[in-house]
Amino acid sequence: TKAQIGVTGLAVMGSNIARNFAHKGYTVALHNRSIAKTDALIEQHGSEGSFIRTETVEEFIAALERPRRVLIMVKAGAATDAVIEELAAAMEPGDIIIDGGNALYTDTIRRERALAERGLHFVGAGISGGEEGALNGPSIMPGGPAESYKSLGPLLESISAHVDGEPCCTHIGPDGSGHFVKMVHNGIEYADMQLIGEAYDLMRKALDMPVADIANVFREWNSGDLDSYLVEITAEVLSQVDAETGKPLVDVIVDAAGQKGTGRWTVKSALDLGIPTTGIAEAVFARALSSATDQRKQAQGLESGTLSAAPTDTTTFVDDINKALYASKVVAYAQGFDQIAAGSAEYGWDVAPGDLATIWRGGCIIRAKFLNRIRDAYAENPELPSLLLAPYFRTALEDAVDSWRRVVATATTMGIPVPAFASSLSYYDALRSERLPAALTQGLRDFFGAHTYQRIDKPGTFHTLWSGDRTEVTA
């Protein structure tokens, strides 16, 4: 028998996805650059399903039924290009190469073009869910030609997570769209984690709560509006006690956050598209600041000032933090969806935001109950100008706004950094402002650079003769 799918790159993600395919009844051809990983998989899990062990790319390709489908799960970047080149040389027109790694979407666009010229289909598929998701059901965001989804879709959907009977996998759009939305997904994940971190920090520093109590608060929140994987695992991490010192584990972990690049890519793309993805940007910068350990060390002892309006009631303030977290999270998602809409327009992808809300409900790291609300919002109005303006979220934000302001004000007087809470509140306030100081910015730009401005009371473009008699002329 031949295999319906081949997986090359059998590190943690690839081997778990290969097992997931096998568990669903598919015969899976296995390949890895070094044979050790292939053998380890066969030895430890060979009895879980039908696998074909292969050593060379030629053997691997020969083991597949046609059209061949090969999923690449190697380190993103140059390794992916090397593997694609080897596979493409051995494959035939009509065959499908799927890249399930965290590729940069512009690489995916380039690769699809090059492979299409050789008659091969290339599908850049964002896969989220980490190790556990890969094995038991990830959220899958495949781009590439619609035609290849016909043959590939059923396989991918069968291994994906399911929520209410629906797969967490759908065709996102052409070429790089799948990896683009996966990138923004990761950006939202950064924002989500930063907001959770700020909520935790406030409970610690403004309320002096023991870590174990904070863990309980998150556990409780996980049964309300904030019900989500990240809130759930926050309770787990905060409950962990270090065996060596007996302290909460979080107190012995170095407070410098790492990053692999998808958050940075999201912000770079947001800058290029001109979309104010401020929540994600604050989260990426907060990680960078946390890692500036030497600078931070030298800044120890800077005075915090004399203001300090500590909250008087713990229960009330914890509830305020809950609302601030929810509202800021809605802002982060609203901004992420704006970026996806802009990317979709820029590249002609026609991405349906409601589909994303649907497939992010399960399997992925940002899975959350509130994605049902986002899905409903786009079902009701696919042309929503902003997620914030969907009736449900509008009401939720208006209900939360006093709490949100109290949290940011308290943090500010106490000298507790809340970049993501504060910037999302400012975003909310800027968006709802009738007039912004951008009018002054335009005046300044016209003054020093003759960049011109428009008037609110008549059409046309104008310039003031700032260095002359200061009369206004039509530009």
Min dist. Cβ of residue 31 to ligand NBP (A): 9
Residue 269 is assigned to a ligand binding site: no
**Residues forming beta bridges with residue 72, ordered by sequence position:** 8, 99
Which region, left, alpha or beta, applies to residue 144 given φ > 0 means left and ψ of -120 to 50 means alpha?
left
- Positions in 97-156 near ligand NBP (CB under 6 A): 101-102, 127-128, 130-131
Helix (H) or strand (E) holding 229: helix 229-239
**Of 328, 307, 71, which Cα lies nearest the Cα of 199?**
328
Consult the annotation and say whether 301 binds a ligand.
no
Nearer to ligand NBP, 73 or 390 (CB): 73
Burial label, 444 (beta-carbon count in 10 A; 0-12, 13-18, 19+): exposed
Residue by residue, DSSP assigns 106-117 as HHHHHHHHHHHH
Closer CB to ligand NBP, residue 12 or residue 212?
A: 12
Task: Please report whether residue 53 would count as binding ligand NBP according to CB under 6 A.
Answer: no
Backbone phi and psi for residue 397, each to the nearest 5 degrees, phi listed first:
-70, -40
Q: How far apart, in Å, do the first and last CA atoms of the chain sit?
A: 74
Q: Does 37 bind ligand NBP (CB under 6 A)?
A: yes
Tokens of 114: 């090059």
Total of residues contacting ligand NBP (CB under 6 A):
23
Tell me the window of 3-11, 219-227, 237-245, 337-345 that interacts with ligand NBP (CB under 6 A): 3-11
- Which secondary structure element, helix H or strand E, spans residue 473, and what is its range? strand 472-474
CB of residue 429 to ligand NBP, shortest distance in Å:
36
The count of other CB atoms within 10 Å of the CB of residue 407 is 30
Q: Does 353 bind ligand NBP (CB under 6 A)?
A: no
6 binds ligand NBP (CB under 6 A): no
**Interacting stretch for ligand NBP, rule CB under 6 A, among 79-87, 163-171, 243-251, 356-364?**
79-87
Residue 96: partners with Cβ closer than 8 Å, 6 or more residues away: 67, 68, 69, 70, 120, 121, 122, 123, 148, 151, 152
76 annotated binding-site participant: yes
Query: What is the pattern of x (binds ligand NBP, CB under 6 A) and - over residues 227-246?
Result: --------------------
Return the residues of window 245-274 that contact ligand NBP according to CB under 6 A: none
- For residues 149 and 301, the answer to whether their CB atoms sit within 8 Å is no
Site membership for ligand NBP, residue 79 (CB under 6 A): yes
As annotated, the active-site residues are: 182, 189
Options 83, 140, 155, 418; binder of ligand NBP; rule CB under 6 A: 83
Contact between 473 and ligand NBP by CB under 6 A: the answer reads no
Q: How far is CA 370 from CA 147, 191, 227, 362, 393, in A?
A: 32, 15, 7, 11, 10
Residues that bind ligand NBP (CB under 6 A): 9-14, 32-34, 37, 73-76, 79, 82-83, 101-102, 127-128, 130-131
Annotated binding site: 9-14, 32-34, 74-76, 102, 128-130, 185-186, 190, 260, 287, 445, 451
